[in-house]
Amino acid sequence: MNRDDRRALADGGETEPEHSFESGDGSHHPGPPRFVTVEEGIVDPNGNEMETRDDLAPWNPDADGTYTWRVLESPNGSSATPTDGPVAEFEPPPPGEYTLALEAPDGTHELTVRAFPEVDETEPRPQVELDATVSKTKVHLSATATVVGDGDPAVEFYVDDRNADVLETDSTFPVSAIDEPVRVYAVAVDERHSVPDAIDLVPDSDRTDGPTITVERPFEPPEWAVDAIVYEIFTRRFPDQEDPTFETITDRLDHLEHLGIDVLWLTPFLDAESGFGTPMEHGGPHGYDTTDYFSVDPDLGTMSDLEALVDACHDRDIRVVFDLVINHTSDSHPFFEAAVDETHPDHERYRDWYRWADFDDGDADTYFGWDDIPNLNYSNPEVREYLLEVVDFWADKVDGFRADVAWGVPLSFWTEVADRLTGTKSEFFLLDETLPSDVEMGGGRFHMHHDDVLHDALEQLGESVTGDGANESVEEREVTGEQDGAVADEFTDSAVGLDTTTAEAVLEAIDDRKRRGAHADSRWLLYVENHDTDRYLSTYGRDAQLAAGAVTFTLPGSPMLYYGQETGVRGRRDPMNWNAFDEDLLEYYQRLIDLRKSHPALRADAGLERIEYETDTDAAVAFARTEQVTGRRIVVVHHFGEGSATVCLDEPVDPIDLLTETDVSDGVDDSGKRSLSVETVVILECQ
């Protein structure tokens, strides 16, 4: 099957990428230096659900090329060597710095691997922010390293191996040494090592006052995504069910525009086994089992219809994010059918496109018993080459990717994808689904991550407030089959270690980002529900849904609405209730969105601060948000219980709730503490 055969499209639409994409400098160099522990190494095992994985791989792979790996330099006493094959694994005891060599068709490429000692993973990870000051003659690197607790992290600097002949690793060097862009990395080291940070040093030799250097931050998200409000639709359930197509989705975009939505996340719309007619016991028409990566589901329309939908979103200043599903295919994908059919002329070739639990028996490697979606084999350069074509093709049609089951794909591939796309389209956006979330997905891979820690805290708060939720715990719902589907909610509890019996858990979830060592540029998607969970409304009730929804609009991050959350849809993947909106619920979310957009202290980068408050219920929590530039400050109080709670604040606040424009004060006592009556949430301006 040649490249043109792979791109058999639905009628209409563009068939070639507008841009010419390449990774890095276009060579086969395997990318940035690696920072690992000797315990984890660089490995990509079968199975291991929910664990991120990695490998050593050439960039811009050529399926017909020959690639081999070897060790050039290693610490004394090391006998570690990469595994055989073009895509290799490497387990590097003892700790220290290794230099590996990739022999590729375009020459020899060196790669630094820094291996740190084994660690206690209960210890907090440090964070580091790299910067540089530039004078007329010198560049000086500086880094701010922090860690939760009383540690004092050291910092190590590394120059990208592709620039090693331009610049030696040092903290100070002359401007004249940099005559081409150079990327420098910093890693903080304490009990554990940090996710690396990076800056690009870009020479500007055209200045009339002499050459100078511009410092750029390559891991920053596109500006449009920083404060975005996201809306996820289950693509085949959102439009009118009499004629569910791209065109009828387009007809409903006014609803999103009126709400104030910035980003539309479309669940898969490619040709898939689970199209229209898939029963709910099999997850409904979810589309997460692709049968053709270059063709849209013809029941939804043509490629031209999809492009018209995207254009209509752009006309409303709404960006479009595409659900990229490249961990696995459907077992009815032509490649897999060839892989298991010994009579197929390409049988041997396509057997190597998939991972196998038992190669001889044709038993594919899958996760969670999802036997109908076999995992692709990223140790095969031809698979990587093909999937980069998929990435290139869709990157020119949408504004960003949400990577499904991102944890199942090697980190090295996501690093290449991020470099490939943001190097050509600086405004392209990347969101990962990694459950439990892994901070390694930040720092040059994804801009935003599902905040599963906050989500699980909200679930458990809902359960504790309502007693038994829907008569089952979160864990029980996960194993009963109620969540059955292609990508069911079978993930472990990410709020482990948090006290989820009190509303303070929502603040602990935010603090947890720092404890885990999240990259400073990482952004977080805050959600109450999505296509993999039951509806919060039907599980925990209306009051709890109002409270949980408000949390996602008042804490640092990007709030997300799952279609129908704002209109009262009760079934996980039910059709949108276009003719039966809960108008009061809709007005509530409209007010949250309007306030989130209008008040600077609710923006993603506004500071979050714990404050003193008194209440007689564990179901209430209060905190402050402060916008750093103007100093505008608000106090937010959430209540997850039934009825109203009384909360007393030390902070001097205006008694008028910004959300409802009503007076929520029960008076001020002799000490100046203001007493508030809080049903679900109040947001007050500080005096």
Residue keyed to tokens 């698979």 = 383
**pLDDT score of 276:** 95
Residue 9 pLDDT class (50, 70, 90 cuts): very low
**Model pTM score:** 0.94
**pLDDT score of 48:** 85
Mean pLDDT of 187-206: 94
Find, among 87, 82, 86, the residue nearest to 66 by Cα: 86
For residue 118, count CB atoms less than 10 angstroms from its CB and return exposed for 0-12, middle for 13-18, buried for 19 or more.
exposed
**pLDDT score of 17:** 65
Residue 664 to residue 522: CA distance in whole angstroms? 36
Mean pLDDT (the chain) is 92
Q: What does the block give as tokens for 508?
A: 């602990």
Residue 96 to residue 118: CA distance in whole angstroms? 12
CB burial of 394-433 (b: ≥16 within 10 Å; e: otherwise) equals bbebbbbbbbbbbbbbbbbbbbbbbbbbbebbeebbbbbb
Residue 361 pLDDT class (50, 70, 90 cuts): confident
**pLDDT score of 639:** 97
For residue 669, count CB atoms less than 10 angstroms from its CB and return exposed for 0-12, middle for 13-18, buried for 19 or more.
exposed
**pLDDT score of 599:** 98
pLDDT over 50 (residue 471):
no
Per residue in 32-77, pLDDT tens? 999 999 999 999 999 888 899 999 999 999 999 999 999 999 999 9
- Which residue type sits at 146? T
Angle, alpha carbons 373-377-380 (nearest 5°): 155
**pLDDT score of 540:** 95
Residue 610 to residue 612: CA distance in whole angstroms? 7
pLDDT over 80 (residue 494):
no
* 341 or 496: which leads in pLDDT: 341
Residue 58 to residue 75: CA distance in whole angstroms? 24
By the 8 A CB rule, do 285 and 310 touch? no
Find, among 401, 488, 466, 411, the residue nearest to 619 by Cα: 466
- Which residue type sits at 38? V
pLDDT over 90 (residue 204):
no
By the 8 A CB rule, do 398 and 430 touch? no
Q: What does the block give as tokens for 421?
A: 């796309």
pLDDT over 70 (residue 348):
yes
Phi, psi of 539 (to 5 degrees): -85, -45
**pLDDT score of 524:** 99
Which region among 513-522, 654-663, 668-677 has the lowest average model confidence (pLDDT)? Answer: 668-677
By the 8 A CB rule, do 535 and 570 touch? yes
Residue 91 to residue 110: CA distance in whole angstroms? 17
Residue keyed to tokens 């005891």 = 93
Give CA torsion, residues 163, 164, 170, 173, to 10 deg.
-60
**pLDDT score of 499:** 75
End-to-end distance of the chain based on CA atoms, in angstroms?
Answer: 69
- Catalytic sites, residue numbers: 404, 433
**pLDDT score of 194:** 99
- Domains recognised in the chain with CATH numbers: 34-216 (no CATH), 223-328+366-598 (3.20.20.80), 607-685 (2.60.40)
By the 8 A CB rule, do 255 and 237 touch? no
Identify the three-state secondary structure at position 72: strand
What percentage of the chain exceeds 90 in pLDDT?
Answer: 86
Mean pLDDT of 579-600: 98
Torsion sign (Cα): 163, 168, 173, 175: negative
Mean pLDDT of 491-518: 84
Give pairs for 143-150: CB < 8 Å, separation 24+: 143/186, 143/188, 143/197, 145/188, 145/190, 145/194, 146/188, 147/188, 147/190, 147/191, 147/517, 148/124, 148/514, 148/515, 149/124
The DSSP secondary-structure symbol of 641 reads S
pLDDT over 50 (residue 267):
yes
Mean pLDDT of 454-472: 78
Element (H, E) at 182: strand 182-189
The region that residue 564 occupies, defined by phi over 0 for left and psi between -120 and 50 for alpha, beta otherwise, is left
pLDDT over 50 (residue 480):
no
Find, among 145, 29, 40, the residue nearest to 440 by Cα: 40
- Which residue type sits at 342? E
Per residue in 288-304, pLDDT tens? 999 999 999 999 999 99
Residue 184 to residue 131: CA distance in whole angstroms? 10
Which region among 174-183, 311-320, 502-511, 611-620 has the lowest average model confidence (pLDDT)? Answer: 174-183
Phi, psi of 256 (to 5 degrees): -70, -40
- Which residue type sits at 92? P
**pLDDT score of 497:** 64
By the 8 A CB rule, do 525 and 560 touch? yes
Per residue in 402-449, pLDDT tens? 999 999 999 999 999 999 999 999 999 999 999 999 999 999 999 999
Mean pLDDT of 622-626: 99
Phi, psi of 221 (to 5 degrees): -70, 160
Mean pLDDT of 551-571: 99
Q: What does the block give as tokens for 364?
A: 């594919």
Hey, which bits of 95-181 come out as E strands?
96-104, 107-116, 127-134, 138-146, 154-159, 172-174
Contacts of 510 (CB under 8 A, 6+ apart): 454, 555, 556, 608
